[in-house]
Amino acid sequence: MSPRFRKRYRVLLKVGGVFSVLGILALVFAKSLLCVDSGPQQADVIILLGGGVFDRAPRAAELFKAGAASHIIVSGDGDCDENRLALILGGVPATAIESECKSTSTMENAKFTLPLLQAGGTKRAIIVTSWYHSRRALNTFCTVAPRIDFVSLPAYRAHHFPAPILGTKIFKEYVKNVWYCFRWGVSPFHHPPAGAAACFQPAKFAC
């Protein structure tokens, strides 16, 4: 093995080690970096984002039955009807559910839901999505509709995902936060209201 090859090999090992450490830290601190939970809240409406029928819909139904809001907007193409059905099976009256079934991204969720929020005179809305998606979702809605007060009460039931799939979703979410910052001007940084709790405590997550 030539000295030049050995030098390059050592450099590659060091670079690989750095990326491995960063990857581990990204997973360990995922809830602190990607999750926003505003704690117990009252609002005019709950916005249920598509993409997680098994965790997001039950969370929205739970909040509705607890009196957090009297109305739910289901947003997202692909599983719109499934989420609506899951809500009804979870005890939410069909008359309390409104649907927006055309959006295919978080940005479109916000843009396509906005007319419904404005038509209903919404002043405060609760966003329900998976915990690892909650920061980007909240920041996107705040960017699109700054006159509405948005809060985040995410779902934490990600146990139906095998660990490798959940890890992949978490890594993709870091990339998407950066992309949304450069593409749409959505800041990845969110400052929760005073009194928000630490993200490591299951009862009241916040970041």
Burial of 127 (0-12, 13-18, 19+ CB in 10 A): buried
Work out how many domains the chain is built from and give that number. 1
Residue 161 falls inside a structural domain = yes
Residue 178 falls inside a structural domain = yes
**Model pTM?**
0.81
Residue 25 falls inside a structural domain = no
At 49 the three-state DSSP class reads: strand
Torsion of CA 99, 100, 102, 107, to 10 degrees: -140
Residue 198 falls inside a structural domain = no
Q: Hey, CA dihedral for 26, 54, 70, 106, is it positive or negative? A: positive
List the beta bridge partners of residue 152: 127
pLDDT(9) > 70: no
Residue 134 falls inside a structural domain = yes
* Domain CATH for 49: 3.40.50.620
Each residue of 70-106: pLDDT tens digit?
999 999 998 999 999 999 999 999 999 999 999 999 9
List the beta bridge partners of residue 120: none
Each residue of 13-64: pLDDT tens digit?
444 443 344 445 455 556 878 999 999 999 999 999 998 778 899 999 999 9
Residue 86 falls inside a structural domain = yes
Name the residue range of residue 76's domain.
36-184
Residue 29 falls inside a structural domain = no
Residue 1 falls inside a structural domain = no
